[in-house]
Structures are given as C-alpha cells and as structure tokens.
Structure 1
C-alpha cells in the first residue's frame, strides 16, 4: 500500500490470466468438481453498474469516458495532450499509435474495471497495463490531483513504449528493473522537485539516520519506492539533467540498472548513494534545527510501534474522552479503532469489513469520520454496492444502524455531523467533480451547496451550525481555461447556501483539515507554509494567523491532502497525526498549548519542500511552471460511441518438441491466443496443441462476457490424451524366399478423447459471496491401435498399423449449482484470517446416472501471530451409478486431505489381510469426509507479520491434526478409533509442517506426520507443492 493515490501505477507485463484460469476452472468444476472446487474460491470483482462509454479522439489519445463525466473528461483530454508534449520532449520519443485512456468518474467505479484483473484497493490511484498500454484511472475530484495521476500514468505509457522500441530492452527488460526506478521516475516527471510530501519522508529518514542506499531501495521492501525513488530521480535530474535521466532509463531497460549507470553517468550505485545522501543531509539538517522532534510534540497517544504503522485521520469525540482513528493494526485491512483520548489506550475496534458483511471496505485515503454531538454515534464512509455510502454506527453496540447512499453521487468523503445532530455535511463526487452536500438525517433529503469544477473538500460546521468552512482551490490562481490550479485554501459558506467567502491564509501554501475551536472564534488548520506541514490557527474576527506547531517531519495524513487534525467540540483538545518512522502516530495538545505564535500572512517559502539539489533548474521544473506549453485550446474533439470489438491481447509462448525413433520423427507443440475488447469486458481465449498425427490434434476455445453483473462463459473443445507402450520380440521373417530371424517392434497406442462443451454463469451478491450455475456435456471416446515395424539386420522390411478393440465411449451431461463465499486473507503460504466455503450440488446423466454433493467449509481464527485453521469437507457421489467401476475411486490419502497416508508410502508388509489390505482399502471410496485442524505461525516474514524479519524466504510452521473417512453406497463407516482394525474406520494423523514461499511462484510444504491407523509405518516425511488450505 502506498502513501498516495497512485498506489500501483505499473501493471507487470504478462499474459491475461483470467480467461485461461477461469476456463480451466469452469471445465474442472463441470467435470471434476470434487477436485476443482477446492481451488475455486476467491473474491469477486462485481460489475455493480453498466457504464455507457464514449470515446473522445484527440491527436494522440482515445479517451474513454461515460456521462455524466463529460465536462471533466474534456478537460482531462487537454491535460493528456499537454502531458504528451512534456514527456515526448523529455524522453525524445513519440508514442507508437494512439494510447487508450479509460477514465472512471470516481474510485468506486474504477474498482469495477475489467481492464485490470484482480481486486483494486482504495490505495490504487491508477494503472497502466502492458498489453495495450492502456491507462486506466479514476477522476479524483481535485483537478491538480487528476492532472498528477494522469501524468504519472502517461510516464508509464512512455516507459512501456520505449522498452518495446528497437532501442529498448523489451517488456522483460522493463520488468527486471527495480520498482523505484519505474515508479520514482513517474513521480518525478509528474510532480517535479518541489514536493513537501516526499521532502517529509526524507527529513524523517535523516532524523533517524536511515536513508536507504540504492541497493537497499532495490531489495528492501521497508523503503517506499514511490517517495525515495522520486527523490533519487530528482537528484539525478538536477545533478546531470532531465534528458540524461531519460537516457539512463532507456539504457537501463536494455542493460540493467548497474551497467546503465556506469555507461551513462560513469558512476556506481554505491558512489551515487553516497553523493545523494550527502546532498540530502546538507539540505535538510539545517532546516530541522530548532524544530520539535516528532516524539516530543504535545502528548503522544498512539505510537508507531513498528516502522510503517498507520494510525490515520484521528477524530476526537465532542467531550474529548475518546479518539476514533483508522488503522491497520488488525493487519489485513483498514478498520476504525477507538482509544482513550487522555491515555492513548486502545479501547476496541469500532468497525471494519471483517465484522460487517454489508460493506466491502472503509474509505480512508482522503476521508475521516465524525461523531454525533452527543458522542453516541459515529459516521464514516463505507464502500458498498459499487459506491460510497454514509454509514451510521452505534458506538456502544458497534452495530451499523443505517447505510445511506446518495443517488448520483458515487464518491463521498469528509462527513461532518451538524451541532444539532440533524444533518451531515460531506464532500461528494458526481461526474468526476467534487461539491458540497448536506444530508437531512430525518427526511433523507440531500441539498447540494456548490455546483462547479472547483474542488470542495473537508467541510466542518461552525459551533452555532450557521456556516460551513471547507477546503477548496478557488481563487485567482485557478484558471480552468489554462488548466492551472491554485493551492488549496479555506473558504466559508452559509449552511443554507449562498456566496462563498475565501478566508485569510498563506499565498502558495496548502490549507487543509479545518477545525473550529469550541467558541467558534478560532479555526485550526494544517498548512505547509514553510515546506513543513504544521498546525496553524486563524482568529476569525481579526484575521490574525498563529503557528501552533513546528514539527521536524510534519503533521500529515497518508496523502498530502488527507485529514490529519480534529478538535473536541466541548473541551478544545486538539488531536492530530504526525509522520514519523515511516508511519503515522497520533498526538494531542490541550487548548492552552495551542494558542500559537503570531505569523504574517506571507507568501509560502518552498526551501524545505524542494528535493536536493535545491538550486537546480530543470526541464521538468520549467514545463510544470508553464501551464500553456503544449496545452491545446478548448475545442470540440471527435466523439463516438464505444463499440466493443475483440483485438489480440496476448500470444502465449509457443512450445515445440521433436522426437525421433524407430517409428519415425514426431513433431508436437502448442500455443494460445487471448483476445479482448478495450474495456476487458469480453474475452476470447483459443488454444491448440498437436502431438504427432491428426488424431492427436486438440484445441479449446472460451468466450467470457463480464460486461454486466451476471458474468457468463461458453466454450468447448477436444482434448486428446495419448498413452502407450512398446514391445520387442524375435520373429521368423520371409525375405526374398528365405526365412530369417528378425525383430518385431510393436508400439501400442491408446487415445482418450474428451470432446466437451460448457456454459456457465455467476452472480456475485458482493465481493465475498456469489452464486454459480454451470452446465456441460462431455463425450469420452477411446481409440486403440498398434503399429508394427519388422527389421532384419538393422534394415526395415515391413511396417503396418492396425486398429485394436476399444471400450465403448461414454457421454455425460451435467448441471451444477454452487454457493461460494470467501472473505479470507492470505498470508505468505496459506489463509490466516476470515472464512471460505463452497456448497455445490451437481446431477449427472447420460451413460452414467449419479449426482455429486460438495460441502467445503473453512475458518481461520487469527490472533497475532497465530492462526487456528479449521476445515470440514464432504464430497460424495450419490445415485444409481455412484459406485460404478467406470468412475475412478476417490482417495482419502491425498496429501491435501489427510497427510501420512500417501499412496506411494504404503508397503506390502503393512497389510493385515491375506487377500485384501484393509489399511489401504479404507482410504478408497465414492464418498469422503475430512476434518482438519492446524495451528499456524509465521517463522520468517516481515516486520509486521513474522517472528523473524526475513522476507527472502517466508516460512510458516504449523502443528496439525487430520482426520477423515471414505465409504461407498454399499459399505459404510464403522465409527470407532482403533489403531488396527479389519473394518472401514476413520483415519487420523498428526504432525508438524513447514511451508515455504519460493520467490512468490509456488508454495512447498514439508511435513513430518504420524498416521495413527498405520502403526507399522510410524513417523515419516512427506513433501507436496501446494499452498495451505
């Protein structure tokens, strides 16, 4: 997770995996659901809405958008063209063809996109994917931020295009570069060298003596690549030049970072690190002298216990007794916690998606919550049903009483409860533009107070409830015709609407997080007037300004615009978040400590916010200072309706094999092609494989439609499986009238053909629950033949091929219905919190008549660092042909079910029967029941999750107890615990397990198991490649 909205800017190049994965899983679920369903969990990306996309065609881009974002999209098109001119100049490169840009009106809409596979968190502000170099992002409601994110993502588009050019190193070369190289350059070229937020990270590192070397930045995940990468590229651009930085990047894609650094800059990573560190210390040490260390500001309530801990958006209760804040202290997701505002003792968790299935997540990046005036309720923004909703929570019970969606408003932030408790003001986004709204809690009516392109954020009520103060970019510095934006200021509006009054402040500085004093005479806020984010106070009657804090790092939230300050309505106690040790701590000041020192309303100084070298004049700085350069005039771009059409996304790496022998030369191979539309809603996957002859030609094709909430799939194909063996014998052969001894080589070949068709659909109720319905048909055919070659003296004298009798084909039809849930969180090697379940019924008909029943339930109870994992599974065949010998038996001793009973580990001496082997036979049947219990602990991991901080080889240890039983329709289970028995009894095992995450590609498990029902075998080792259940 990043500290800004550009949480993941670059999608790793590679195949689009969903079509193949979904197709194979659906086929497996249709024909072998017992084996496949154990894999077929996962959360759902829900298409809550269907967007009517249109396309704006500019000189260099096809910009996709949908009403009502028409106005914001037209402005974004001009931004994109301006960025093209800027970046083409820096890189000395023009993009190949038109680059697609896909804009969503707000972040909840963006989270529904199918262009990017997988779930998208709130911290992801945009993505540029490799296959078609598509830029996908939401509008932010703040034009400056939208412009930054768009510029960041277009840097990635240039990076992809450069890597793919003849002078580049290809997408594989780009993917080998450290993340800081790619993301840091995107931040530098889109933000420049004047950035208080990145400067704050550097000052924190200087204070702690923890500036990363380039080697550490490359290999150690503790150092955030966006911020430190931004700073390092700023140094390179300032020290050498921005054009040289672009040459260095191009060379790095081809040669790698080290060789490129030596060739272009004639230096090494160690030398560059030393120079960079010296420049940072020289720039920032003098500036932080005389400022207060983060730990010494006021009273520390919530500390950063581990580097990177997040304690965000504190909101103090009206009586000053409690403070609510967002935190990841639960490890898996951001939740709302409550602490004692006097002692800092954390009282309890207030709300989170794990405790309420009615919403998917809590919106936390640029929002905070709000207490009701009596302190009995708490309002926050939840992500549910594809939009932001206001959630009203009863503090005493922890129950969400109401969830309120606002029609036409997709994103909500900054709820503020009115002093009389009847209304909630908030900032809402419609069509990519933010405005102020007021919700009447009794009637549900919503009034819109502002209606324009200006940013309107973080409203707060005056104590008398008559006015609202909010954050905005209004003023002379913002000019939408020039797409130039002023810094954020404070403004006041009557609660009933009307004229907007800009409040006094500092020219050129940001002003955020406004909060009234209890008497309404003062307004506290956070500003970066000196390049440091500090708390200030405005005396509303006189207009005088006072500086309250002088923190060496900064008073800040997770982003530069995130709320960081709250004032108790009754007591005046200030509670705020401070950046320190790569994380965020919560501190407090009593009102008498928050009077502040008078300061003049001067223009902001930027020395402390400029990234070293501070005196450099650069190409990036020049173009950021000139909004008109490369900016096209407002005009009418060609606009067309979006018409989906399939284009080639990816060609799977072809495989080819050649073999020679007595039966000739055989040539085989396979390939796959993936097609998709621009929005990723429609996908076609085609694969083909051949092995020798036309009989061994196979292929599959699948079409997936994800345009609406009901997703559906159709596909089919032929899959041949060839097995065989060879015999050699001496035979008499007649050659030219003579009978000679020759050799007859016979190759017996058996083919099994699966001709199959499948249709399926699924309906997600939420991101964690779905219904599936599939239907399919398979015909299993058989073909046997023998090819004989007769040789005499090494020379071939005869060759023939003839067919052999084969079993009659089998045809099966099937319908399956399943209800699936998954709200689990995965650790390094296995799930460690939440639950998963799958309940499925599937009748079969045709050559065989039976049905299958599957019930798979799993629960993970987490208490750091331990997880108690429980699983119960039943899979069985029922019906007339459930025990037919034409169906393969189910085996209880699979390592993923009951360890210690692996099929290859049995010895003949273990069998107690004279004609049978009950020790093995009790593991085979047509019905299985399994129960598992594991206590898991991470041995090696990260600072936040692991007993030992060693992320190179994440390792999980566990103690396990496995149990299971197998039976048939004719022979049931004898329910008794016995070490030796001739009956079909349950089996048990216990032992120790270690799972290793090998470079993120696979999970290897080694276990030492004791099978109780194999007394002659005892303790033994086993190994499998599979993640934990």
Structure 2
C-alpha cells in the first residue's frame, strides 16, 4: 500500500442488508463478534463505471472509457515496471495481474475491493488474496510510474511469500521497504526522515520492528527502503533475493531466522550493522543546522496541547497571527489553529471538535507526496477570513471561514474539478487561485468567489500546483512538474503566457512573495559552484529556504538544514520588519521557526547557473506499448468470480452464557461489485443459514437472499401466555421462531450519513414453545383468553421501508461522539391466505464526548406491531438491559432506554499473554417494558393499591400443580414500575485477543420495595430469600462478549 501519511481509519461501511442475522465481517480474518449494534456510514457509488478489460502479456487492465486516452501510456508504465521488478528479483508471475485503474482519487475512493474505508493518504493498494492492484492515475507521469512499480512489487512479494500460509507476522518494513526500494527513487521527505533518524540516533531494531511507532507514519516504509539498500550494498542483489526466500521459509515453515540463513548473522547483529551503516552514510550531514539554530520554536508544545504535529503555515496580513494546519491527537483529525507569532500561544482552534459538525468530513491535504512543500490554506487580504479545502461527499468544497466568529461564511462545492488544493486569495479578495485535476491532469484554476465561476488558466499536459498571486494581481507564480522535477513558473494574466523561473535537476517548492520583486520558496538546490561528492548529493536532497529576485534572477540560500525546511512565508513583526517563518523537521517532529529577512545568505547564485529555458520533456518509460484493439473487451457482469479472502471466524458470548459461532464465505468479481455470500451461524444450538446476492455497482444497491433461520427467546409470561398457576423456570419457557423464505432489499444513500432502505419478502414462519406439552396448554389458554394464539405460524409477505442516519465517530473501543437513528416501517398485506401485520421500529442513540475518551451514551428503542399476526421484539441482557436475563423481555409493544457513562481506567496493559486493550469502566442505568396488544400496559404508577403478597403454598388436589398459593394483603404506595423494569450498576470492559469482553455488576429494581415483595415473592420462596425485594435487588455478575451500543 502506498501512502502519504496515516491519519487513522474511519469507521467502515456496513449496511444491514440482512434484517434477520448479524453479519460480522467480510474478508477480515481478525477476531470478530456478531454483537456489533451499529448501522455505520455509507460508502456511496457516485459514478457508474462502464468497465472494460485490456489484456497484455502480464496484466489484465480494468478501465472505463474516461481513462481510454491514458490507457496506452499507463500500459507502457505497467509493462516496464514488470520487466524491472522481475529482472531484479529474478522471479516471474504465473498469472496475469489484475490492474484496476481509476481516473482520480475521488473515483478511487469508490472502489469495493477493500471493504474498509480508505484514508485520503492512501494513494493505491495491492491486496494479497487475489493479487489485485488498485490505483488512480492522477499523479504526474514519473510519479505514476513509481507508484505502479511500488504496488507491483507487492504482488511479487505476495507470490514469493503467500499471505495465506503465514505462521508468523511479517514486519511492515519488509513489504513497504522493498516496494519503495524497487522504485529506485528517494522522495525528499522520505529521505529526510531516515537522515534524521540516523543523526538523532532513533533507529529502531529492524529485526523486531513491526509497525508504526513514530509520529511520521511513513518511517517504517523509509527505514525498510534504507534496509534493502544496506542489504544490497553488503551482500549484493543475490543477497537481497536470498533474504526474501529465507524470510519465506521463516514465516511459513519456521526454522532459523531469515537473518541467520541469508546473512549468517543473528538478528541483533544485523540491527547493529544496519545502525552503523546508516550513521556512516549520513555522517557528512552531522554538522548541518538544527532547528534550535534558528531560535524559538513557535509550534504548539506537544506535552501541553493536543497538537502533536504542524505541517503547513500561513501568516495573517498583519503578521500577528499565523494559521497552522496541525494534527490533533485528541480528535485524531487535522485542524486549523491560530497561533500568536510573538510567543506561539494557541489563540483558538478554527475547526475544533469533529469536522462533521462543520458540514464536511475532514480537512483536505494536498495530493501525492507534495505534503507541506505546497500551501494548504490562505488568508483574505483584509485578514477576516481563511480559505481551505475540505472533503464533502465525492467532491471537495472550498470553505471560507470567519476567523473571528468561526462561522463558515461560504461553501463552494468543486463539482467540475477533482482534488483541488492550495487555495490563494487574489490581492483584491475577489478570486481564489488553486490547483486541481481535470481529465486526471493537474492545472491551475481561478474561481470567482461571488459567482463560483471556475477558469482553467494553464491547461497543459504537465502537472501544475501551488499557485501564488503577485501583489499587483497581474501574475501568478506556480509549480510545474517538468523533466522529472518541480520548477517555478510565472503566468501572466494579460498575455495568458507562462515563463519558467527556476532551472536545474532539483525540486522547488511553493513560492510566496516577500515583496513585489522577491520570492521565497523551499528548494533542494545545491550551489553548483560548490564541490560535492556523489554520495553526499544522493543522500542530501534537502529542502532549504531560498529567495529569487525576479528582476535580476539572483538566488540566495538562507538555511543549510540537517532535516528540511519547508512552507516558508513572509512574517512582519511589531517593527514592521519582515521575517521569514518556515516549518522545520528534527527528531521526528515538525516545528515553526523564523529568520530575519536581512540575514546574510549562505550562498548567492545566478539563476542561469542552474540552466536555461529548454524543451519540457515528459517522462518516458523504458518500454513503450502500442494498444492492440483486439485485446480490448467489455467486462462481463459475473466474470471471474472467486473466493474473497479467508472466511472470518465469528465468536460471541451472550450475558446468558449462550455461545455464538459463525462464518461467511463470499465470492465476488474482480471489482467487488457483484457478491455472493453464504452465511452460517449457530447461537446456542439454534442454526441459521443464508445465501445472498449483492449488487454494489451503483449508488442504488440491492440484495436478493434466501434463508433458513431459527431464533430463540423466552416466553416465561405467567398469566399472559399460559395459566397463572403454572410455575416455570426461564429455561422451561424456551421458545423458538423459525423462518424460511426469501427477500429483496435495496438501499439508496442520500449522503454520507443518511440512507433510505426498501425491502420485500416472502417467508414461512413458525413460533412455538420447545416443550410440546407447554405449547398445547399455552395455545388452549391463549385461544380461550384472546380468541387466537399469540404464537402463530403461517406465510407472510412483508414490505418494508426505513430511514437510517449515522454520524457517529468511532474509536477502537466503540462510539465516541455523534448520533444514530433508524426508523423502520413494515406492512404485510392480507393477500390470500397470508398473515398480515404492521410494525414500527425506532432505534435512536446519542453519544456525548467527555474529555478525550469518556462518553455519555444514551439509547432509546421503541417497537409496536399490530394486525392479525403481530410481530415481537425480544431483548434483554448484553448492553440492552444489563442485569436481566438474555432475551428476557418479549412483546408486541415494547421499549427500552439505556444511559451509560463510559470512561477509561487504563489505556493499555502488559500481561503475560501480551499487550491487551485498555481497561474501561461503565456506570449504567436501564429502563424498559414489554407488553401484548389488548392487554394492560402501564410502565409506572403512583396510585396506591392493595396487593396480595405470596407467603407460601397449601396442597390443592384441584390445582394443576397439586397446590395453591397462600397470600396476605399489603398496601403499596409511591412510585413503582408496573410493567416496566429497571436496573443500574457498574462494569468493566477490555479487549483480549481482539474480543471486547465485559464484566458487569448489576442491581435490578422496580423502585418500590413493597411492590417488589409482591412481584417476586415466589422467586424469593424458591431461593430461600426473606422477601421479593431482597431477591430482586441481589447483585448480579455477568460476563459477555460484544460491543457496546
């Protein structure tokens, strides 16, 4: 997987396509439980793609007509990359690689191959089960070639080390490091992190380096890249190949370590030699400038604020404030904050709280690997508003926010361009220049803030980025990717012509005007008059601060950094003397520092010393490919169905001790749009089976399914479902409902958070007690009392509609903030001999965040069914009504409500079995009631009454049981729950081996002791308790596996 950075995965897409079962997952092989009571957000297919297939010697390329103009070029890249990787690894694939292409990242985000939500920083991915490569083609030509090489290397890795056979974990640095190594290219930012780690002495032990342990999520990739360069430098290309095959043997079959087999070194000896290699390699850079050489760090303090990293800065016109794009550790989002340029104090967070509250999903970051070499935001000329881009649905939106009121004054949806970035206000504030894609090519655009009209001003075949208006508004300076490097150009508004400003084989970042004639910008340039060894040149590539005089072409270098200095901006102080502020990098952290503009330059160079204008040469791959029309064809709807990953193992335990087990087998087409699922589960001894077809190829998604399902519940309702003189235990009143039939289900997502659902079905069902004698007695009693049995059997044809809304923000432990609501209606018409009924079902939740990880959670579930054969809601136990038996409540009209305070006690714990998830506590209170149509249904009462309290039994030959109860009258007054039930208590939750395990201590109550004595006198007598109240209020301890609501 190729990424820019990791910002934390959002909650995955999960629509409840099956109303009768819980589906725990698709291809994920991690620990799962069926009790996942979330509806989740929508992944929307905004576009319909008319897929075609083009076959080459080594690829099956999936594309759609909008990509056809790029197909020959991309095919050349793919075949060239195959020859390169195959030759270097001396390995060939025995299959054609499925290569799925998307035109842009916004279309790539709509893919159905990976069931999870892709963060914006994921540029492409390769999956190990069917060896598919999936990527957008919107990068510049040379970057796209490297991206294809990176992902193709993963496919070779999956073939050499099959993931289905792994017995041990494969370090992330091996997969990603080799893929980066095979590109033969170091991005400036990637090389910066390795150079910094070597000089700062923070190199981890690679032999046990498993994951992301640094603020920079790409460091495992980069250290892996360096590790493979080390291996090649010491043992040659053959040593690298030997290491891969030794690694294959180690992680699949066991035996000695790959280091010992390939290099005759113990793992710790490899680590020592690699550590020395890096320190020797970057030794020439030890004496270069560190951030402290520039004075005070204005970045927020990590130990005192939630802001752990800064990536881009933009000063206000007055210079007293600075807008900063910062990573928020608390919210796990990017925010835009205001800092004082005097002391670095955080003035306010302009996007505080979760971004959904601002009407967008997240603040957008620039594409590719441009990172903070280009701007992220812009101030209006009068300093009252700030402009930035944010993700909203498929498109991004231009946000204009008032910095004083934090009010978003205007949103402009960018519907005619893709991936806009780097906005810049014009000097008059009427227009904003920005970079964006059309037809997968980046150009510079200008938008009229008032009318929303967008104009493409560069409109060429090269990648154009990071526009900056000149102070007079007559020209725009921007970056163009030409001949494999980023160069500065100037576009004249009047003449519609562009002129190249900088030259050379280095990269230049976005420029800002210090004055009408001077630009400041980051550059990896090195004074061409200074002697430098090839190794230093190779290992440098460092962004430093430079200026360019537009009148005479003079270039000046002001810093000579160890790490890198980017995002330079002009900054005025109290004396109106300009400084240059910029972002620094050292010891894995970004900072903000300044330099006086009057500082003496380190080097002064003429622009012509780096070169002169010449032809702009686009990247050319080693091999060229000519399209063969006979190799093109339309993709068949069900072409090449295959097993989608390893079937998951689903496990759960109810609070009643019932064990759940299940799995799902999924067959899909190459694109994941057409799915066939076989789902099997068992709860206690009751089994369910379903076979379904899902079509996910369009915005409107639908499913067809056939199923057989048996559910159990408890019908221990004395005097309601059977005679009042029959005394049964809960297990004796076990009942089941068996359904067999089929249904159709459709979903139309309105937006990211809301959707409409429609369904229709035809199935036969049978409800009864497991005990045949009890069933006979109960049916006789129900017919005599109600005129019909309450447990019915027959055939029904339900039609359903529902509206679902989900804005919840999730963390690894469950919901943190937001709200959820699902309102459903079902109507089964009385056609022919079919049973009929109507049902309304409402489920609403609200989550209020407390501090960082505390949650105040509320839930209300209401249910009402009526007609000839009403349905039932059965609930209880787990997180629905803690303290009561699992599925204890049964009714045709029912509700329950939960209130919980959840908070962390321990974030993580080291145990003899390894590190387990954090320990969280919960304080809870529950209230619910269930009843039957035509019967009295009173949740609570304050009216005084006289009740008979059971005190014992006497023999009675006329009674079915052989005895009759003895009672005494007692007055009851005050508030009491009549048909309602309540509980409260405390609990603990932890994650062990991937499962959420709960330990609850509950106390039940009817809020009135005398009333409890009346209601539970028989239970007290059975258990030898002195009163019904004492029996009911005894603490109950329960353990269950499942997620909180």
TM bucket normalised to smaller: 0.7 to 0.9
- Deviations 1:529-566 (CA, angstroms, capped at 9, x unpaired): 4422211111222212211222221125xxxxxxx333
Is residue 401 of structure 1 aligned with residue 409 of structure 2? Answer: yes
Q: Say which of 186, 194, 199 aligns to 1:202.
A: 194
Question: What is the CA–CA distance in structure 2 between the aligned matches of 1:391 and 1:1011, rounded to whole Å?
Answer: 51
> 2:551 matched to which residue of 1?
541
Question: What is the CA–CA distance in structure 2 between the aligned matches of 1:38 and 1:407, rounded to whole Å?
Answer: 36
Task: Give the conservation status (yes or no) of the 8 Å contact 2:864–2:892.
Answer: no
> 2:847 matched to which residue of 1?
860
Bigger Cα displacement from structure 2, 756-765 vs 646-655:
646-655
> 1:678 matched to which residue of 2?
670
> 1:517 matched to which residue of 2?
514
Q: Say which of 252, 262, 265 aligns to 2:263.
A: 265
Question: What is the CA–CA distance in structure 1 between the aligned matches of 2:579 and 2:817, rounded to whole Å?
Answer: 37
Q: Say which of 1002, 1012, 1020 aligns to 1:1009.
A: 1002
Secondary structure, counterpart of 1:209 in structure 2? coil
Secondary structure, counterpart of 1:512 in structure 2? coil
Task: Give the conservation status (yes or no) of the 8 Å contact 1:938–1:956.
Answer: yes
Q: CA deviation at 1:927?
A: 0.5
Secondary structure, counterpart of 1:186 in structure 2? helix
Q: Gaps (5+ residues) in structure 1?
A: 10-16, 30-34, 165-169, 479-485, 557-563, 605-625, 657-668, 691-695, 724-749, 787-806, 905-919
Task: Give the conservation status (yes or no) of the 8 Å contact 1:411–1:430.
Answer: no
Is residue 898 of structure 1 aligned with residue 881 of structure 2? Answer: yes
Bigger Cα displacement from structure 2, 65-74 vs 594-603:
594-603
Question: What is the CA–CA distance in structure 1 between the aligned matches of 2:155 and 2:6, rounded to whole Å?
Answer: 15
Task: Give the conservation status (yes or no) of the 8 Å contact 2:471–2:513.
Answer: yes
- Deviations 1:272-322 (CA, angstroms, capped at 9, x unpaired): 100011111222243121x22234434322146169933222121222122
Question: What is the CA–CA distance in structure 1 between the aligned matches of 2:600 and 2:696, rounded to whole Å?
Answer: 55
Question: What is the CA–CA distance in structure 2 between the aligned matches of 1:627 and 1:491, rounded to whole Å?
Answer: 19
Is residue 320 of structure 1 aligned with residue 319 of structure 2? Answer: yes
Q: Say which of 704, 709, 720 aligns to 2:699.
A: 709
Q: CA deviation at 1:370?
A: 1.2
> 2:822 matched to which residue of 1?
838
Distance 1:653 1:214, change over 3 A: closer
> 1:802 matched to which residue of 2?
none
> 1:251 matched to which residue of 2?
246
State how 1:222-621 maps to structure 2 within 5 Å: 222=214, 224-256=219-251, 259-289=257-287, 291-303=288-300, 305=302, 309-329=308-328, 330-351=330-351, 354-356=355-357, 358-366=359-367, 368-474=376-482, 478=483, 486-496=484-494, 498-505=496-503, 507-527=504-524, 529=526, 530-556=540-566, 564-568=567-571, 572-593=578-599, 597-599=603-605
Distance 1:951 1:374, change over 3 A: farther
Secondary structure, counterpart of 2:559 in structure 1? coil
Question: What is the CA–CA distance in structure 1 between the aligned matches of 2:698 and 2:648, rounded to whole Å?
Answer: 36
Q: CA deviation at 1:681?
A: 1.7
Secondary structure, counterpart of 2:502 in structure 1? coil
Question: What is the CA–CA distance in structure 1 between the aligned matches of 2:770 and 2:812, rounded to whole Å?
Answer: 49
Distance 1:587 1:759, change over 3 A: farther
- Deviations 1:376-428 (CA, angstroms, capped at 9, x unpaired): 22221122231223222233332333332445422211111111112111111
> 1:756 matched to which residue of 2?
741
Q: CA deviation at 1:777?
A: 2.6
> 2:857 matched to which residue of 1?
870
Task: Give the conservation status (yes or no) of the 8 Å contact 1:389–1:403.
Answer: yes
Question: What is the CA–CA distance in structure 1 between the aligned matches of 2:648 and 2:486, rounded to whole Å?
Answer: 57
Task: Give the conservation status (yes or no) of the 8 Å contact 1:376–1:394.
Answer: yes
Secondary structure, counterpart of 1:254 in structure 2? helix
Distance 1:593 1:871, change over 3 A: farther
Q: CA deviation at 1:261?
A: 2.1
Bigger Cα displacement from structure 2, 351-360 vs 626-635:
626-635
Question: What is the CA–CA distance in structure 2 between the aligned matches of 1:117 and 1:896, rounded to whole Å?
Answer: 27
Give the superposed CA RMSD.
4.1
Count of aligned pairs between the two proteins: 883
Bigger Cα displacement from structure 2, 257-266 vs 178-187:
257-266
Secondary structure, counterpart of 1:680 in structure 2? coil
- Deviations 1:45-73 (CA, angstroms, capped at 9, x unpaired): 11112233333332211222334433333
Is residue 778 of structure 1 aligned with residue 784 of structure 2? Answer: no
Q: CA deviation at 1:1020?
A: 4.2
Task: Give the conservation status (yes or no) of the 8 Å contact 1:648–1:674.
Answer: no
Question: What is the CA–CA distance in structure 2 between the aligned matches of 1:958 and 1:1002, rounded to whole Å?
Answer: 16
Q: Say which of 128, 131, 139 aligns to 1:130.
A: 128
- Deviations 1:129-180 (CA, angstroms, capped at 9, x unpaired): 233211111123322222222111111111222334xxxxx53329831222
State how 1:588-987 maps to structure 2 within 5 Å: 588-593=594-599, 597-599=603-605, 630-633=622-625, 638-650=631-643, 674-686=666-678, 700-719=690-709, 754-781=739-766, 809-844=793-828, 849-880=836-867, 890-891=874-875, 893-902=876-885, 926-937=893-904, 939-941=906-908, 952-968=915-931, 969=933, 970-975=936-941, 983-984=977-978, 986-987=980-981
Q: CA deviation at 1:228?
A: 1.9
Question: What is the CA–CA distance in structure 2 between the aligned matches of 1:101 and 1:758, rounded to whole Å?
Answer: 35
Question: What is the CA–CA distance in structure 1 between the aligned matches of 2:868 and 2:169, rounded to whole Å?
Answer: 54
> 1:740 matched to which residue of 2?
none
Secondary structure, counterpart of 2:157 in structure 1? helix
Distance 1:219 1:358, change over 3 A: closer
Task: Give the conservation status (yes or no) of the 8 Å contact 1:829–1:956.
Answer: no
Distance 1:112 1:651, change over 3 A: closer
Secondary structure, counterpart of 2:641 in structure 1? strand
Distance 1:57 1:655, change over 3 A: closer
Question: What is the CA–CA distance in structure 2 between the aligned matches of 1:979 and 1:230, rounded to whole Å?
Answer: 77
Question: What is the CA–CA distance in structure 2 between the aligned matches of 1:721 and 1:973, rounded to whole Å?
Answer: 27
> 1:143 matched to which residue of 2?
141
Bigger Cα displacement from structure 2, 525-534 vs 371-380:
525-534
Q: CA deviation at 1:470?
A: 0.9
Distance 1:287 1:91, change over 3 A: same
> 1:217 matched to which residue of 2?
209
Distance 1:502 1:595, change over 3 A: same
Secondary structure, counterpart of 2:915 in structure 1? coil
Task: Give the conservation status (yes or no) of the 8 Å contact 1:235–1:276.
Answer: yes
Distance 1:334 1:24, change over 3 A: same
> 1:55 matched to which residue of 2?
53
Question: What is the CA–CA distance in structure 1 between the aligned matches of 2:608 and 2:400, rounded to whole Å?
Answer: 42
> 1:64 matched to which residue of 2?
62
Question: What is the CA–CA distance in structure 2 between the aligned matches of 1:821 and 1:697, rounded to whole Å?
Answer: 31
- Deviations 1:244-283 (CA, angstroms, capped at 9, x unpaired): 3233223323322962222112112211100011111222
Task: Give the conservation status (yes or no) of the 8 Å contact 2:517–2:549.
Answer: no
Distance 1:495 1:899, change over 3 A: same
Distance 1:65 1:576, change over 3 A: farther
Secondary structure, counterpart of 1:442 in structure 2? coil
Q: Gaps (5+ residues) in structure 2?
A: 24-32, 368-374, 527-539, 611-617, 650-660, 714-734, 772-790, 944-971, 1007-1028
Q: CA deviation at 1:894?
A: 1.2
Q: Say which of 177, 190, 207 aligns to 2:170.
A: 177
Distance 1:453 1:53, change over 3 A: farther
- Deviations 1:942-974 (CA, angstroms, capped at 9, x unpaired): 9xxx9x9x9922214224131212142422111
Question: What is the CA–CA distance in structure 2 between the aligned matches of 1:954 and 1:823, rounded to whole Å?
Answer: 25
Task: Give the conservation status (yes or no) of the 8 Å contact 1:828–1:997.
Answer: no
Question: What is the CA–CA distance in structure 1 between the aligned matches of 2:637 and 2:271, rounded to whole Å?
Answer: 49
Distance 1:888 1:940, change over 3 A: same
Q: CA deviation at 1:84?
A: 0.2
> 1:608 matched to which residue of 2?
none
Task: Give the conservation status (yes or no) of the 8 Å contact 1:354–1:823.
Answer: no
Question: What is the CA–CA distance in structure 2 between the aligned matches of 1:1021 and 1:106, rounded to whole Å?
Answer: 54
Distance 1:963 1:174, change over 3 A: closer
